[in-house]
């Protein structure tokens, strides 16, 4: 992997403040306010990234709306904040330029182009974001489009983790529910690349799209009830929460796995039924998966699906698009200073 050439930012003085979108409470996109915040202070092993682009993910909209998976509401509020978010600057993935590094940092230098994944720690919806050098931060390959770099992580790492936990192997039949979303579109691509035979559940308007991503068979959920199909899938990956383990059981083959990607506590705790089981909970966040996605993107074997690109000033509109449940892939948000260049 060739890193993008470094630009020399060492001479550029850093501002003392930055703009950031802050969730002032739980609710709709109107709870978001553009505020001036102090620049994050970096420690000896930290990197400060000037954000070029980020996304508004399903994770961001869930946190903003306090829309935690079923059965996890109390736990979610206890963990994330009772009346408002403890970490009110959202943003799970980003790309940008290293603006400053701590005295002990060896892997990055000011001017390096990077891809970073705050994940559940969030913080990408700001002009600057702090990362530990050893965190989920990687060089951005030369020539990689900004919007691709911004949108690689959320869907891709989730899909990789669930496919790994399901032990998805070549030749298996996999059904993806929600194949046109950020996670679903990554699942279709990665499973097809692994040699699985992919069926996709989507609406009529997205059929051509999901076939182009690698689905061999498409089921329009407005026309066919997928739970009435014969038991033929080794894996049912539900990236919508449209099914439950119980509803998926009749269409799972012997040894089948139900991937409860958007499901709640019930699916996480569901006991196996004979040889069939449910796999749920949060996807793991690790830099090796992000690195694999970067390599695949460079090789042209994985491309995050992009729904739209909006300027930073319109970040609440990006949340509204995520709230719609209709986005096709990721809503990328580019920061103003980049657009002025």
Q: Which residues pair with 309 in a beta bridge?
A: 332
CA dist., res. 76 & res. 63, Å (int): 9
Shortest distance, CB of residue 327 to ligand NAP, whole angstroms?
A: 5
Pairing of strands 173-177, 197-202: parallel
Q: Which residues pair with 252 in a beta bridge?
A: 233
**Cα angle: 47, vertex 49, 52; to 5 degrees:** 165
Shortest distance, CB of residue 65 to ligand NAP, whole angstroms?
A: 11
Reduced to 3 states (helix: H, G, I; strand: E, B; else coil), residue 314 is: helix
Shortest distance, CB of residue 158 to ligand NAP, whole angstroms?
A: 4
Q: Which residues pair with 115 in a beta bridge?
A: 95, 138
Shortest distance, CB of residue 4 to ligand NAP, whole angstroms?
A: 27
Binding site for ligand NAP (CB under 6 A): 57-59, 62, 155, 158, 177-178, 180-184, 201-203, 206, 221, 239-242, 261-262, 282-283, 322, 325-328
Residue number, 19 or 148, with CB nearest to ligand NAP: 148
Residue number, 155 or 256, with CB nearest to ligand NAP: 155
Residue number, 97 or 270, with CB nearest to ligand NAP: 270
Shortest distance, CB of residue 242 to ligand NAP, whole angstroms?
A: 4
Residue number, 19 or 66, with CB nearest to ligand NAP: 66
Within a 10 A sphere around the Cβ of 76, how many other Cβ atoms? 16
Residue number, 99 or 116, with CB nearest to ligand NAP: 116
Cα separation values, 161 from 121, 193, 281, 285, 331, Å? 18, 15, 11, 8, 22
Nearest residue to ligand NAP, by Cβ distance, number only: 181
């Amino acid at each position: 992997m060739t890193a993008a050439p470094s630009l020399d930012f060492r001479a550029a003085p850093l501002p003392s403040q930055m703009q950031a979108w802050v969730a002032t409470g739980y609710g709709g996109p109107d709870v978001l306010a553009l505020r001036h915040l102090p620049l994050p202070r970096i420690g000896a092993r930290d990197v400060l990234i000037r954000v070029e682009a980020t996304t508004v993910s399903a994770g961001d909209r869930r946190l903003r709306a306090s829309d935690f998976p079923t059965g996890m509401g109390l736990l979610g509020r206890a963990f994330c904040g009772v009346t408002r978010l403890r970490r009110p600057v959202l943003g799970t993935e980003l790309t940008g330029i290293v603006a400053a590094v701590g005295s002990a940092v060896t892997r990055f230098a000011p001017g390096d182009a990077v891809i970073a994944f705050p994940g559940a720690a969030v913080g990408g919806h700001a002009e600057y974001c702090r990362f530990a050098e050893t965190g989920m931060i990687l060089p951005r390959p030369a020539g990689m489009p900004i919007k691709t770099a911004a949108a690689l992580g959320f869907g891709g790492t989730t899909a990789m983790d669930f496919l790994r936990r399901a032990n998805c192997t070549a030749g298996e039949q996999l059904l993806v529910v929600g194949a046109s979303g950020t996670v679903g579109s990554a699942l279709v691509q990665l499973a097809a690349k692994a040699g699985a035979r992919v069926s996709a559940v989507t609406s009529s308007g997205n059929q051509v799209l999901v076939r182009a991503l690698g689905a061999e068979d498409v089921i329009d959920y407005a026309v066919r009830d997928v739970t009435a199909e014969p038991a033929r899938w080794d894996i049912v990956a539900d990236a919508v929460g449209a099914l439950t383990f119980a509803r998926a059981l009749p269409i799972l083959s012997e040894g089948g796995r139900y991937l409860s990607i958007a499901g709640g506590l019930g699916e996480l705790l569901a006991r196996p039924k004979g040889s069939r089981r449910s796999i749920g909970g949060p996807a793991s966040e690790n830099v090796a998966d992000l690195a694999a996605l970067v390599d695949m993107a460079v090789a042209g074997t994985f491309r995050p699906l992009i729904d739209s690109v909006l300027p930073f000033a319109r970040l609440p509109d990006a949340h509204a698009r995520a709230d719609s449940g209709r986005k096709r892939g990721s809503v990328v948000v580019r920061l103003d200073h980049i657009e002025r260049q």
